[in-house]
Chains A and B, each alone.
Chain A
C-alpha cells in the first residue's frame, strides 16, 4: 500500500489570496500523479494528470508541479475565489489497472 501524504489537512484562505499545498508520495515505481477536486455534494473531478519530472500543468488559476525524483507535487491556486472551496486529492499511479491510491486530501475553505 502506497503512503501518500497531503498537507496541510485543512486550510482557511482569504478570498483573493494565493495558496498552495503539498502531496508527498514514494518516488519508486512512479508512473503518474493525479490531482482531483472534490466539492461538497459533488463527485471528485480530475484536475491534472502529470507524468514527467518537472511537469507543470495549468488550468485557469490553478497550477501544479511535479518532482518525481523526490516524490512530491505542489498545487497552487492564484487569487482564491469562494468556488475554489473543496477538498483537493492527490493520487499517485503505480501502473496497471488497479486504480489510484488517494491521499486524505487538503480541505480548502475560502473566506469572503
Chain B
C-alpha cells in the first residue's frame, strides 16, 4: 500500500533563517507531487506541483522553492524565511497523469516564523 511521510511535524524558525521540509512517498511510482500551505484564516493554497523528477511548476510567486531530486521525494525550501511564510504545510501525491484522481496528504508541518 502507498504511504506518504512528511517531516518535521512542527518547526519554529527565526526570520531570515533557511528552511527545508521533506516529503517522501512509498508504494507507488512516478506520482504527481504537491506542496500546499494553509495560512491563518485562509484556505489551502497550492504552492508547487511536480509531474516528474526535476519538473517543478509554481502556482504563486513567493519566497519558497521546491525540488524533486528523486521520483518519490519532494522538498520545499527557502533561503531566508519571512514572517509571512508561517503556516501549515501539506505535501500530497496523486496517481500520475490520471484524471480525477484524489489527493493523498501527508501529516503536515506547522511552521512558525518568529
Asked if B7 CB lies within 8 Å of chain A CBs, one says no
Asked if B74 CB lies within 8 Å of chain A CBs, one says no
Asked whether A100 and B46 contact (CB < 8 A) given A43-B105, A43-B107, the answer is yes
Asked if B1 CB lies within 8 Å of chain A CBs, one says no
The answer to whether A102 and B43 have CB atoms under 8 Å apart is yes
A-side contacts of B46, CB under 8 Å: 98-101
Q: How large is the interface on A (under 10, 10 to 19, 20 to 34, 35 or more residues)?
A: 20 to 34
Q: How large is the interface on B (under 10, 10 to 19, 20 to 34, 35 or more residues)?
A: 20 to 34
Query: For the complex, what is the distance from the CA of A32 to the CA of B105, rounded to whole Å?
Result: 19
Q: How many inter-chain contacts with C-beta < 8 Å in the A-B complex?
A: 59
Asked if B99 CB lies within 8 Å of chain A CBs, one says yes
The answer to whether B105 and A97 have CB atoms under 8 Å apart is no
Query: For the complex, what is the distance from the CA of A44 to the CA of B92, rounded to whole Å?
Result: 10
Asked if A89 CB lies within 8 Å of chain B CBs, one says yes
Query: For the complex, what is the distance from the CA of A104 to the CA of B43, rounded to whole Å?
Result: 4
A-side contacts of B2, CB under 8 Å: none
Query: For the complex, what is the distance from the CA of A97 to the CA of B104, rounded to whole Å?
Result: 14
Asked whether A99 and B102 contact (CB < 8 A) given A104-B42, A104-B43, the answer is no
The answer to whether B44 and A102 have CB atoms under 8 Å apart is yes
B-side contacts of A32, CB under 8 Å: 99-100
Residue from B43, B100, B107 in contact with A49 in the complex, judged by beta carbons closer than 8 Å: B100
Asked if A81 CB lies within 8 Å of chain B CBs, one says no
The answer to whether A97 and B97 have CB atoms under 8 Å apart is yes
